[in-house]
Amino acid sequence: MGEKDAADELCASWGRLTSGHEPGPLTGFLSLHSGLPGPRANLTLAAEASRLIAGSWGAERAFLVGLLKAWAASGDEYLMFVAHMAMGHVLGVDPETEAWAVPLLYEANFSPLWRAREGVTFALEALFDARRGFALRLIEKWCADEKPIIVRNAIVALAHPSPLRESAEQLKALKRYNGVGMALVAHLEKSLDVEMLAKSLGFTLSVAAEADEGYLEQMEEWIRAGVKPWNGIVKENLGKARIAKKYPERVAAMRALLG
């Protein structure tokens, strides 16, 4: 069954899978159609499950709270991914869930399972759609101690072109945490978290520049600073079509600076 077919089947079977308030049927369906083990998890199914959970929250809250907590603690990478994504959708419709969902999401940033961590970025993206102000305040709080993996997840969640065109506050936050991330990459010893941060900075700078041409000046400052990690990150961004096509002359000049 393909990704979309599984998502459609989940939607059609939702009432049956949840009516008995037993976790087994829904958990089993998600696991069966997760796409794992394999190179690609079923993101379409996870997104549909998250939307259905949020849509059923009012009537099925007690059952779904227990289900999400169980999935988050399961150690199963796909179920954890779905749980974390769904928490973002639920936070968008029910602020009362903040007391338990926000701490779980924060800790999930540090999971050894990368799909579980990635679920946090999807949760933040859902929050930006539903409660942007809260999402921005949450990121500010989380990033206060400048942990590389937190900053990485924040910039990935922030770096979506459509919301950036709609929200000056979100663009400002992306620029801010891009800067925090660049400083961390320059000054911290190499680690897996720092490498992941650097890799993500390899596209988030260009997203900010696409939204605001003036950000190219900041990128040029990083080039002129002569910090080796910065040069690699800026070079990666200059190769992105989103700015190479939009600002061809300026991008060519910056590439020349890099040599």
Q: What proportion of the chain, given as a percentage, has pLDDT over 70?
A: 100
Q: How many whole angstroms separate alpha carbon 106 and alpha carbon 149?
A: 11
Question: Can you tell me which residue has the tokens 């709080």?
Answer: 141
What is the mean predicted confidence (pLDDT) over 154-179? 93
Q: What is the pLDDT of residues 91-118, one digit of tens each?
A: 999 999 999 999 999 999 999 999 999 9
**What's this model's pTM, rounded to 2 decimal places?**
0.94
Checking if the pLDDT of 158 tops 90, the result is: yes
Residue-level pLDDT at 225: 97
Give which of 53, 67, 58, 56 is closest to 21, Cα–Cα.
Answer: 67
Q: How many whole angstroms separate alpha carbon 127 and alpha carbon 121?
A: 10
Give which of 185, 189, 174, 187 is closest to 232, Cα–Cα.
Answer: 185
Tell me whether the omega of the peptide bond preceding residue 37 falls within 30 degrees of 0, making it cis. yes
86-116-177 Cα angle (round to 5):
90
Q: How confident is the model at residue 161 (pLDDT cuts 50, 70, 90)?
A: confident
Q: Decide: 158 and 173 in contact? Cβ < 8 Å.
A: yes
Residue-level pLDDT at 163: 81
Q: How many whole angstroms separate alpha carbon 129 and alpha carbon 167?
A: 11
How far are the Cα atoms of 39, 86, 92, 134, 223 from residue 170, in angstroms, in the given order? Answer: 32, 22, 17, 11, 25
